[in-house]
Amino acid sequence: MVTGGVSKFAKAHTSRDSRYLVKEALDYALSDVGMDVSDIDGSVGAYFSEHFQRQLLGTAMVHDYLGLNPKPHKRVEGGGATGGLAFQAAYEEVASGRMDVCLVFGFENMSHVSTWKGNEFIAMASDMNFDYPVGGFYTAYYAMMAVRHMHQFGTTVEQMAKVSVKNHGNARYNRYAQSPMEITVEDVRRAPMISYPFTRLDVCTMSDGAAVAILASEDRAFQYTDRPTRIEAIGSGSDTMRLSDRPRGKVPLLPHEEAEWYRDLDYPGLHNFRAARVAAIEAYKKAGIEDPAEQVDFMEVHDAYTSLELQLYEDLGLARIGHGGELLDSGFTEMGGKVPVNPSGGLLGCGHAIGATGIMLSVFTHWQLQHSVEKHLGSGRLQVPNAKRGLVLDLAGTGTLITVTVMGASR
C-alpha cells in the first residue's frame, strides 16, 4: 500500500455528496506522496446499498468524477464487509499483474434517510424470507449473540461497556472520528437501552464518509514512497445468513491452540464467529503467524457492537474462547497494552459509513505502520510504538462474510 486518505466521518454531510467526499480523500492521499491521478491504472469501488444512495452504478459515477475513465473499474458489495472485500479485490488486481497501481475507494451517505429507515435498509442484509418479516434488526441479532456469550461464559455488561470507553476515548485523538468522547462504564450503562444488553453507547453510529487506498506492485510502490506497507496476507470466511442455521461442532483451531482446550464446546453456536476463525487461519498461514498475541502489534477490527470486539479477541486468537472479557480487563488491548485493538477508535469512535469502513481501518493501519499517526490524525497519542505488523478485520451480517488482512511495515 502506497498511500491512503479518509474524509471526516459525520452524521451528515449535507453540502457534499459521495463523489466529493471520495475526491477529498483521494486528493489527500495523492498529495501525501506526490502522485497524480494519471499514475492509477484502474479502480475498485465500494458502497453498501443503493437504498441510501438512491443510485445504481454509483461507483462508476465516482470513477468518472475522479477522472479515471476509460480505465477499468468494478464495484464490490458485501454488506458490512464491503470495504474489506473491496480492499482485498484491489490487492488481487495488483497481485495478479493486471494492474501495477490500483485505487480502492468506498463511501456511504446514510443521512439521506432517518435512523429508523436506515436500520431497516441494513436489516435487508438479513434473510428477507425468515428474519426480516419478524422484525429482525441487526442490533437485536447481536444482542442475542451477546446474551448467549454472557450465559455461556460469564461475560458481563461492564466488560462490554469497557470496549465503548476504550474506543470512544481513543477517538478523542483522531481528527476524522465522528464520536470522540470521554465516558465511564457507568455512562455506558446509564445510556438509553436499545436492545438488552446494549445501550446506545454499545452501538456504533451510522455515518456519511469516504476512504481511499492506493495499492501498487513493489517496484512501483517504492517509486512513490520509501515507506510503503506490505500486504502480507489476506483471508476470508463465510457462514450462514441465519443464526439458527449455524452448526454445533468442533472449533477450527488456530496454530497455537490445542483441541483439548475446547473439548466440551459446541462451536460456533450463537456465541462466536466461525468465519473470522477461517479467515484468520488462512491469513496467519500465509503470513507465517503462529501466535497473534506475540506476532501482531495491533489490530483494527469491526466493532459495530461492544460485544463483537470481545468475541473477535477470541476468534482471532488473542484470548481463548470465552475469555475475551478477561483479556480486556487485563489492559491487553488498550493503548499501552501488548496488542492495542482499535487504536483509531474503531467504528464505535469513528462511525460506520459502511462502504468506506473497511478501507478506513486499512488506512489507519497503514499510517500506524509508517509511524505517521501524528501527521495524519493530528495527535501522536494513538501511535503504537514500534509497530511492525497490523491486522484489519471487516465483517458483514452476523459474521456471514468476514475478511482478515495482515499488513506489515516495509522497514
DSSP string, 257-281: --GGGGTT--EETTTS-HHHHHHHH
**Whether the Cβ atoms of residue 392 and residue 358 lie closer than 8 Å to each other:** yes
> Dmax over Cα atoms in the chain, in whole Å?
58
Mind listing the pLDDT tens digit for each residue in 189-230?
999 999 999 999 999 998 889 999 999 999 999 999 999 999
Q: Are 407 and 362 in contact (CB under 8 A)?
A: yes
Is residue 170 within 8 A of residue 384, CB to CB? The reply is no
Q: Give every CB contact of residue 83 below 8 A, 6+ residues apart in sequence.
A: 46, 106, 211, 354, 355, 356, 357, 358, 359, 360, 361, 362, 394
Half-sphere exposure of 340 (CA within 13 A, CB side): 22
Neighbours of 150 (CB within 10 A): 18
**Of 313, 282, 293, 309, which is closest to residue 142 (Cα–Cα)?**
309
**CA–CA gap between residue 75 and residue 58 (Å, rounded):** 9
Predicted pLDDT of residue 45? 98
Cell numbers for 401 = 462474510
Give 75-112 pLDDT, tens digit per residue: 999 989 999 999 999 999 999 999 999 999 999 986 66
The distance in angstroms from the start CA to the end CA of the chain is 13
Q: Which domains does the chain have, with CATH numbers?
A: 3-112 (3.40.47.10)
Note whether 255 and 280 are within 8 A (CB): no
- Is the per-residue pLDDT at 120 higher than 80? no
Among the ranges given (24-38, 62-76, 122-136, 137-151), the one the predictor scored with the smallest mean pLDDT? 122-136
pLDDT at 122 (0 to 100): 72
Q: How do residues 281-333 score in pLDDT, each as one tens digit?
A: 999 999 999 999 999 999 999 999 999 999 999 999 999 999 999 999 999 99
From the CB of residue 278, how many other CB atoms can be counted at a distance below 10 Å? 19
Whole-number average pLDDT of the chain: 94
Query: With 70 as the cut, is the pLDDT of residue 116 above it?
Result: no
pLDDT of 382 over the 80 cut: yes
Indicate whether 124 pLDDT > 90: no
What span, in angstroms and rounded, lies between the C-alpha atoms of 101 and 97?
A: 10
